[in-house]
Amino acid sequence: MANLHELVTLAESDPDNWDARLQLAQAYKELGMNDEALNALRGNPLTPMTMSQSRLIKELRAELDPEGKANMSEPVHPVSGMVMVKAPIADDEEVVATETATATETAGEWEAQHAAVIADSSPIAPVSSVGVAGNEGGGAEDQHEDRSIMLAGDIDANAIKPHEKESDASQKASALTVAVLVHVAIALLLGLVVMSMPPPNPPQIVATAYTPETDEQIEEVKIQKKSKATAASAASKPTFAISSMASSPIAIPEFDESQNVDVTLGMTSNQVGTGMSFTQGEGETSMVNFFGIRSSGSRIVFVIEAARFMLTDRKGGIPAFTKVKDEIAQMMAGMNRQTAFNIVIFEGKKIATFQDELVAATPSNVRQAIEWFDPINKKFEKIGIRDGFTSKPVQSGIEPIPVNDLIHYIKAMQRALEMDVNTMFVLTSGWIHHHKPMEKREYEKWMRKKGWGKKEEEEWVGALAKAKTWLGKENATRVKKGVPQRVIRDWHEVVAEILPNVRRKPGPSYEMEEVEDQVKNSVSLYYRSKGKPRPKINMVWFIGSDEEPSTTVQNHFQNITKRNRGKQRVLVGMEGLKNVTGGP
C-alpha cells in the first residue's frame, strides 16, 4: 500500500477516486485515526461509485463507528475536513464548491487547509466511426453540450438516511380532540333545529265517486309491425361527423417493419383511454396511462427524448426504445377522436414535432403519427433525430435562458407550451449539462479557477483518443457476435471505465433552478397572462437497471411537476417498461 502522504495527495487531486479514498481510510484506521477515516468516507450523492466500493464503504463505517454516532449525511473533504457542497451537474460538468469547516488541522500533521474541487464535465464530439451516435445534420454547436450526471451507489443498501422526524403525536392528538368537539357541537345544534320544527300535517285523501252516464265505447286499434329503416334512410338522417385533416405536409420517412398497433377503431384495449364517444359535445377528454402516471386532458402533447442517453445498455438499448414507441402508439390509439394531440421529440438542441400545432386524434391522424415516430432510433447507424424531422422555431424572450442556449427537455417543453395544451407528458433520461456560453477571457479565467491547465488538457485529449479506440474495438466485436452495439452517454463514461484516474474536464453550465424558472416563466406568459389554467406537466425519469436516482435531480423534477399540477415517476430499465400502459 502507498504511504500516507501519497494517499493524501492522490485523494486531494481526484476526490472522485473512491479506490484512493478507501485506501486512505484504511490507512487512517490502521493508525487509529478513526475520525479522519470517517471523513475520508464521506461523499456527495452525485459522486459516482461502484457497488463493490459502496459495500466496502459500508463495512468500514460499521467498524469505525459501530454505534452510528458520526454524521455521514454531510459530505466532507476526505483529507482536509472541509465541507463539500456539490452543485447540480450534468452532461459536461460537475462542480463542487467548498466551505471552510470549523475544525483546523494540527500544524504538525498538515501544512495548510486543503480545498477540493471536483470538476465533472467535458466536451465530446460525436464520432460515428467508432460507434458513438452524434448530432448529425445540425447537432450541438459548442463543445460543452450533451453532458449528464453520473449516478452512483447502491439504491437499497447505501443511500444516506435522513434525520428522523421528531414526533408530532401530541399535536395530532390535540387536533383530533378539537375536531371531535366541533363535530359534536354541530350535531347538537342540528338536533335542536330539527326538534323546534313543527310536525307536518297528515296527508288527506279526497275521493270522488264517478258514475258514467253512458256505456264506454271500445275503440278498435290495429297494431302494425314497424319495419327497420334501410341503409339509405338511415344515412339521410343528420349526423355529427368528424373529418380527418387534409393531407399532411410532413414527409413520412421510409420504415421497414409493419406496425403492431391497429388504429382502425381508434383503440387497442379497454385499459387505455376513457372510452370512445363520438357524439357531438362529448368525448373531448381522454385518460392516458403514461408509463404508470394516469392523467386526463383534451389537448395533450407527448414530449419524448430521442437522444442516445435513452439507448444505453443499462436501459435496454434499442429494444427498450422500441418498447417505448409501442407504448406511446397504444396511448395515442386509445384517445378519443375529439382529443387534440401532438408529439415533440428532442435530442440536445434539436427538436422535431409531428405537426406544427395540435390535431384531432382521428384514426387517420394517429396512424400518421405512429408512422412518423417509428423510424426514430430504429437502427444503430441512425440514432437520434434525422434529416426530414423538423419543428417551428421556439419563440424567444423568456428568461433566464436565452432561446439559443435552450437544450434538452427544457427546449422541447417550451415548444410544447406554445401549443396551448392542458396536459403534457415528458419522458427523459434525466438532467444533462446545459452549457453556459462565456467570452474567451472569462472562460479561461473560469477554467484556471477550476485548476484546469495545459497539462490537464493534454491528459484529457490522450484519454479521449484511447476511449475512442477502445469503443471501436468493442462494437466491432459485438457486430461479429450479432449483438447490439454499445451506445454511450458521453466519452466520460468510457474514460471513467478504462482510465479511472483521469480527471474529468469541467465546463460552465446553467443551474437546475434556472431551468425551473424557465418553465415557470413560460407558463406565466402563455397561460396565466391570458387567463388560462396552468397545464398539467407529468414527467417520467427513465434510468438504467443498476443506476441510483440522484436525490438532487429527483427534487428538480418534482419542483417542475408539483408547481404545474402534475406527477413525477422513476422508470427503471427494460423491466420497468413491461405492462406499464395496459396494466391496472
Q: What is the pLDDT of residues 99-127, one digit of tens each?
A: 333 333 433 343 343 333 333 433 333 33
Question: Is 519 inside a domain boundary?
Answer: yes
Cα distance from N-terminal residue to C-terminal residue, the chain: 56
193 domain residue, yes or no: no
Mean pLDDT of 516-532: 96
How many Cα neighbours within 13 Å face the side chain of 185? 6
- Domains in the chain, number: 2
Confidence of residue 11 (pLDDT cuts 50, 70, 90): confident
Q: Report, as an integer, the average pLDDT of 295-305.
A: 97
| Grid coordinates given for 120 | 465533472
Q: Which of 118-127, 148-157, 493-502 has the highest mean pLDDT?
A: 493-502
Residues 376-387 have a mean pLDDT of: 88
Q: Which amino acid is at 499?
A: L
> Of 152-166, 492-506, 565-579, where does mean pLDDT reach its minimum?
152-166
Q: What is the pLDDT of residue 540?
A: 97
pLDDT in the model for residue 406: 95
The yes-or-no verdict on residue 12 having pLDDT over 50 is yes
In a domain, 309, yes or no: yes
Nearest CA to 16 out of 546, 495, 552, 513 is that of: 495
Average of per-residue pLDDT across 57-62 = 82
Q: What is the pLDDT of residue 200?
A: 57
Write out the residue range of the structural domain in which residue 565 sits. 286-435+510-577
Would you state the pLDDT for residue 13?
79
Average pLDDT on 564-577 reads 92
Average pLDDT over residues 274-303: 76
Positive or negative: CA dihedral 516, 519, 525, 528: negative
Q: What would the DSSP string read from start to end of 173-233?
A: HHHHHHHHHHHHHHHHHHHHHHHHSPPPPPP---------SSPPPPPP----PPPPPPHHH
Q: Which residue has the higher pLDDT, 219 or 179?
A: 179
Match 459548442 to its residue by C-alpha cell: 142
| C-alpha to C-alpha distances, 433 to 51, 240, 478, 486, 543, nearest whole angstrom | 25, 51, 30, 22, 17
- Where is the domain boundary, 99, 118, 137? 118
Per the domain annotation, does 534 fall within a domain? yes
| Amino acid, res. 494 | V
Q: Choose from 61-65, 184-188, 365-369, 467-471 the range with maximum mean pLDDT.
A: 365-369
All residues at 6 or more sequence positions from 83 whose CB lies less than 8 Å from its CB, including other chains: 74, 75, 76, 77, 98, 99, 100, 101
Integer Cα distance of 564 and 172 in angstroms:
30
**pLDDT score at 416:** 97
Assess whether pLDDT exceeds 50 at residue 137: no
Residues 30-46: tens digit of each pLDDT:
888 888 888 887 765 45
The whole-number average pLDDT for the span 178-203 is 73
CATH code, domain carrying 427: 3.40.50.410
| Residue % of the chain over a pLDDT of 70 | 64
**pLDDT (0 to 100) of residue 198:** 60
pLDDT band at 47 (very low <50, low <70, confident <90, very high): low
Select the more confidently predicted residue: 6 or 143.
6
Q: Of 95, 118, 141, which residue is a domain's last?
A: 118
Tell whether 113 is covered by a domain: yes
How confident is residue 401, by pLDDT bands cut at 50, 70 and 90?
A: very high
Q: What is the mean pLDDT of the chain?
A: 73
- Strongest mean pLDDT among 178-182, 424-428, 453-457: 424-428
Q: Where does a domain end: 98, 118, 138?
A: 118
The pLDDT assigned to 469 comes to 92
Total-model pTM = 0.50
- Res. 208 pLDDT band, cuts 50 70 90: very low
> Would residue 176 count as lying in a domain?
no
- The answer to whether residue 207 is domain-embedded is no
The answer to whether position 224 is within a domain reads: no
Task: For residues 202-208, give the mean pLDDT.
Answer: 47
Contacts of 129 (CB under 8 A, 6+ apart): 472
